[in-house]
Amino acid sequence: MSAKPLDDIHNTTKIAGVVLSGRWFPGPALQARADSLANAFAEGQRLVDSLLAPGSARYVASHATTIPTFGLSTVSQVMSFLMRAKRWDDAIAVGELLTQRYPTSAGALAQLGDAYAGGGRNGAATSAYEKALVLNPSANDVRKKLDALRHSPPSPQGSRSAPQSTHIDS
């Protein structure tokens, strides 16, 4: 600290630097690091806000090439929210973005299958589930969804309830 905290408790906020594992980190360097992290999290928060906003399918379509790097689990949670809200077009658009960025994620493909199925797009759901099973043949929950889809009568688009959403671990 650059001033004595016993003289004034507010002096606890006047940090000159930190010693960590015997190494000195000056205050300005710490502040620059904190600012960098804040900016990185702000970008992710703006993306989440955009994906949760009504009409996010249009946002994804118009910004697909400029959407920043994102975490699989973060966008998967957004997609789960959209499916619970029965916003199928938005969930599908986010799921397609997710599988474009993470094409080897069986969980992302299964979740996209859930969105397609919920939106009544059974052919696309079947294809997504099949791709998920190629990547993870032991995904019995996906196999059950695929079997149920294959044995169910066709339904009007958007009238189905979503299958129990697939959970994705990052």
> What residue spans define the domains of the chain?
1-52, 70-170
Residuewise pLDDT in 10s, the chain (170 residues): 677 778 888 888 778 888 889 998 888 888 888 888 887 788 888 889 989 999 989 998 888 888 888 888 889 999 999 999 999 999 999 999 999 999 999 999 999 999 999 999 999 999 999 999 999 999 999 999 999 998 877 655 544 555 655 555 54
Q: Helices 88-101 and 72-84, interaxial angle, to 10°?
A: 160
CATH fold of 70-170, please?
1.25.40
Kindly report whether the global pTM for this prediction surpasses the value 0.85.
no
Q: How far is CA 87 from CA 81, 99, 160, 162, in A?
A: 9, 18, 12, 10
